[in-house]
Amino acid sequence: MVRMKSSHARAAALTALLAFSALPASAQEIEHHKTEKAKPAAPAPTVTQEMLTNAGSDAKQFLHTNANYEQTRFYPGKQINASNVSKLRPAWIFQMDVRESLETSPIIVGEVMYVTTSFDHVYALNAKTGEEYWHYKHKMGPITTYCCGPNNRGVAVLGDKVYFATLDAKLVALDAKTGSLVWETEIADPELGYSETMAPSAVNGKILIGTNGGEYGIRGFFRAYDANTGKLVWNFDTVPEDSVGVWATKDASGHDMHRDIAAEKAQLAKTGDPYKTLGGGVWQNPAVDLKLNRIYFVVGNPSPDLDGSKRPGDNLYTDSLVALDLDTGKYVCHFQYIPHDVWDLDSVSPPILIDVKDKDGKTVPGVVHAGKTGYVYVNKRDDCGIIRISDVMVAQENFWTLPTPKGARMLPGANGGVEWSPMAVNQRLNLTYAVNLHQPMTYQVQTSPYPEGKLWLGGAFKVIPGEEQFGNVSAVNYNTGKIKWQVQTPQPMMGGVLATAGDLVFTGEANGWFRAYDAESGKILWSFQSGAGVNAPPSAYAIDGKEYVVVGAGGNTQIDFKRGNNIIAFTLD
Amino acid sequence: MMSAMRSAQIAIAGIVAAFPLVPTAVSAASVEENAQTCAGCHGENGVPQAKTTPIIWGQNEGYLYIQLRDFKSGARKSDQMSAVVASLEKADFKALAAHFAGLKWPILGQPSPPKDAAKAALTVIGSVGCTSCHLDQFQGDGTTARLAGQQSEYLFNTMTAFRDGSRANNPGMSDLMKAVQPSDIKPLAEYLASLQVVGGQQ
C-alpha cells in the first residue's frame, strides 16, 4: 500500500489551507494524554460473542469494521431506501479535536458510537444525539514510523472493552463505558518501521491484528492477542522463511510480468532468501469463517516496493490472500495475485466471504477481493484457488511495464485501482461495489541496501503533472465477472462503501460529496456536501425504530484530500 | 532528604548488581549540559548561527533522536556532529531529543519565493507526494522532520545531499529526490522555508 498525492488543484488548495484554515493536527498541540473531564459513563451494553456472530442480521448496531465477520458491509435495515433516501438529512454533526485524515469506521454498540481520529484519539458518542461521553488520547511515544498518513481505521468491541491500535505500534484496551485504560501491549518496535493504522478484530476471546511497515523493510505478521490480558496467543509471519515460491512469470490475470528469472536465481544463490526484510504488511481486517474456524486476510507489498533486484523469488505471501486456522494461527492456504510485485499494486482492500458460483455454475463458499490492479478476484474458500477475475474496472496502460531508472509510465498507479477502501456487497443482486482511482504514475527504480527501519521504496512513484485523474464507483457481478454499472467521479476515490437492504449504496468523494446510489442501476439518488473529503467507510444503525447512516468527513493524507474533523449522522426527516 | 536519597542510591545499586547486563546508557553530563554544546551552533535562542545549520528547537522528537543515533553510528556523516555525539549514548539522544522538541520553534520570517518558483515547488510536491509523510503543513510527525520554516539553505543542501547520496541515512528520501529535477530543489527549499505552521503555540 502506498500513498501519493494528487494534482496541482490539490496543491493550490493546500496554499489556501495554509493561509486560511482552522488548526491542523499537530499545530493544535494535540495533547497525548489521558481522558478528559468526568462525564456520564457511556451506556454501552456488554458485547457478547453471540452478538458479534449474528451482527449480519442486526440492524440496530454496527459491531464490526466491515459490518459482520463476512465483511459484506451490507446493512440489513430497509427503512432508508431508494424511495425515500432523497429526504435524508443530517441528524447531528460531531466535530472532533483532530483535523486530519479520517478513515474511521464508526462502531455502534447499543446507543453508543465509537470513532477514532488520526494520531489515535478515540471518542465514545451518544449515537442518537452526537453528544460526547468520553475522549481518549493515546500517549504517543516519540518514535513513530509510518507511511500514508497518521490514520486510524477504528475500534473492535468485545465484552466491556474497546480495542484499538496505534502509530507507535501498541494494542490498547479501554473500558467501553469510561474510556479508561485497561491494558496496553507493544506489538512491535516502531524504530524498525512497524506501525498500526488498521482496526483490530475481535473473535472468540481474541483480538486479531496485522502490522504496517511494507515501506520500511519489516517482516510482516498477523497475530492474535488475548482480549482480557493483552498477551500474545499466536503469531503468523506473513513472509515465510522460504519465500521463493514457484517462479511464476504471470500474474493471476495471466499477464506476463517480464521477470528476469535467471537473474533472480543468481541473486538468490548469492544473497539467500530475503524473508527477514521482505515487508508483507497487513492493512485491513480479516474475514472470519466461524464454521471452518478460519480467517482470511490479504497481505501487502514486498519491500522495497519498486526494486525487485535484491528480493529474488515470488516473495511469498506478499500480494496474497492467506487463510489461517483461527485457534492456532497455522497456515491453511494462500493465493498470490501478483508474484514479485515491483509496482506496489498490492492487496489491501479487505476480503469478503460470500457464496459464489464456481466455473460449473455450482454455488460454493467464496472469497471476494478487489485489487489495486482494478480487478475483482473471486476465490474458493476451501483451498484459496481462483475461480474468476472480473472485467477490469480502471484503464490499464503499459500494464506490467517494468520500472526504470528514468521512469516508466503505467496505469494503474501505485494507489490502484482499489486502495484500502472496503467493498460492500448486495447478495440479492449478486453485486459487489468497489471504488477506484484512475491515477497514472511514473515508476522509477533505484537500488539501496536495507535501511534499518527507514523508508525503503526502491525508487519513486510519481503522479504525472498535467495528466487527468479521476475515479469511479463500480458494481461488479461476482458470479460472472461483468461490470453491471459504473459511475465516474471527478476525483480518485478512497474511502469505502456501504450497501443496504434498502437497495442503496453509500460512498463519499474527495470533494466532500457523500452520495447514495441505486444499488441496481447506479443512479445517484441523494447527495450531501460535507465540506471535507469523505474518505472513510460509512456505517448504519437504528435507535428507537429510526435508522441512521453515519460517515466521517476528514479528508485524506495519502492523496491529500481536503481535511476536516466531522462525524456526520443522517436520518430521515 | 539525604537519607532518602542514600536509600534510593543503595536500591539502585542493588538493582544494578542484580541485573549487571543492564547497560549504563547515560553519559556523565546532564541534558542541560549536553544541550549547551548544541547551542554553540544551533543557537542560544533557537536561531542557528549559520544559514546552513538546521533549526532544532521545536523539531520533532523522533526525528531528532534518529539523527543523533545515526550520527553516532555513522549512517549520517558529519565530522562535526560525529565528534559531538561520540561520547553520548542512546539515553542521551532520547533526552536531548525530548529537550529540543519541547522548545519553541523560532520564526525566521523567511520570504515567500516568487510566484513561478512557488508554482514549481507545488508541482513537485503534488507529484512526489511530500505531504504524505511531512503532512499537510509540512509540520512532520514522529520520526519525520518538520520542514515548514526550516532554514532555506539547509533545506537546499539537505535535499541536494539526499539526491547525490552524500546524505545516506534515508534511501527513501534519496530515491524521491532523485525523482526531482535539480532545478526544482531551490524553489522547493525557498517555498518550504517560507511556510509557517498555522495555529497552536508554534
pLDDT of res. B26:
60
Q: What is the CA radius of gyration of chain B?
A: 20
Which chain B residues contact residue A3 at CB under 8 A? Answer: 129, 132
pLDDT along chain A (573 residues), means of 10: 45 40 46 61 97 98 98 98 98 97 98 98 98 98 95 98 98 98 98 98 98 98 98 98 98 97 98 98 98 98 97 98 98 98 97 98 98 98 98 97 96 97 98 98 96 95 95 98 98 98 98 98 98 98 98 95 97 91
Q: How far apart are CA A562 and CA A119, in angstroms?
A: 17
pLDDT of res. A36:
56
3-state secondary structure A303-332: CCCCCCCCCCCCCCCCCEEEEEECCCCCEE
Closest partner residue to B139 among A17, A24, A464, by Cβ?
Answer: A24
> In this structure, which topology does domain B28-101 adopt according to CATH?
Cytochrome Bc1 Complex; Chain D, domain 2 (1.10.760)
**Contact pairs from chain A to chain B, CB under 8 Å:** 168
Closest partner residue to A5 among B132, B137, B175, by Cβ?
Answer: B132
The CA distance from B165 to the nearest CA of chain A, in Å, is 10
Q: Domain locations in chain B?
A: 28-101, 115-194
Contact A4, B129 (CB under 8 A): yes
Contact call for A463 and B129, based on CB within 8 A: yes
Pick the CATH number of B115-194 from 3.20.20.70, 2.40.30.20, 1.10.760.10, 1.20.120.530: 1.10.760.10
The CA distance from B121 to the nearest CA of chain A, in Å, is 9
Residues of A designated catalytic: 344
Q: How far apart are CA B18 and CA B33, in angstroms?
A: 30
pLDDT of res. B198:
82
Which chain A residues contact residue B141 at CB under 8 A? Answer: 26, 119, 144, 150
Contact call for A29 and B173, based on CB within 8 A: no
Long-range pairs of B180-185 with CB within 8 A, sequence gap ≥ 24 = B180/B124, B180/B128, B181/B124, B184/B120, B184/B121, B184/B123, B184/B124, B185/B156, B185/B159, B185/B160
Contact call for B141 and A26, based on CB within 8 A: yes
pLDDT of res. A35:
56
Contact A471, A437 (CB under 8 A): yes
ipTM for this model: 0.88
Q: Which residues of B, range 106-135, sit inside 8 Å of A by Cβ?
A: 118, 122-123, 125-133, 135
Establish whether domains B28-101 and B115-194 are of one fold. yes
Q: Is the dihedral of CA B58, B60, B66, B67 positive or negative?
A: negative
The CA distance from B199 to the nearest CA of chain A, in Å, is 5
Give the bridge partners for A404, in sequence order.
A444
Q: What is the pLDDT of residues B140-171, one digit of tens each?
A: 999 999 999 999 999 999 999 999 999 999 99
Considering only CA atoms, which of A195, A350, A214, A343 is closest in space to residue A280? A214
pLDDT of res. A363:
98
- The C-alpha cell at B162 is 539526499
- ∠ CA A556-A511-A196, rounded to 5°: 15
pLDDT of res. B25:
54
The answer for residues whose C-beta is within 8 angstroms of residue A343's C-beta and 6 or more apart is: A305, A306, A400, A403, A410, A414, A443, A461
Contact call for B198 and A21, based on CB within 8 A: yes
| CB proximity B169 to A under 8 Å | yes
Contact call for B125 and A5, based on CB within 8 A: yes
Which chain A residues contact residue B66 at CB under 8 A? Answer: 143, 191
Contact call for B170 and A455, based on CB within 8 A: yes
Helices assigned H by DSSP within A47-136? 49-53
Q: How far apart are CA A493 and CA A489, in angstroms?
A: 8
Q: How far apart are CA A430 and CA A418, in angstroms?
A: 19
Considering only alpha carbons, which residue of chain B is nearest residue A450? B171
Contact call for A100 and B199, based on CB within 8 A: no
Which chain A residues contact residue B202 at CB under 8 A? Answer: 27, 29
Residue segments in chain B with a per-residue pLDDT below the cut of 70: 1-28, 199-202
Which chain A residues contact residue B129 at CB under 8 A? Answer: 3-5, 462-463, 560
Contact A219, A276 (CB under 8 A): yes
pLDDT of res. B16:
40
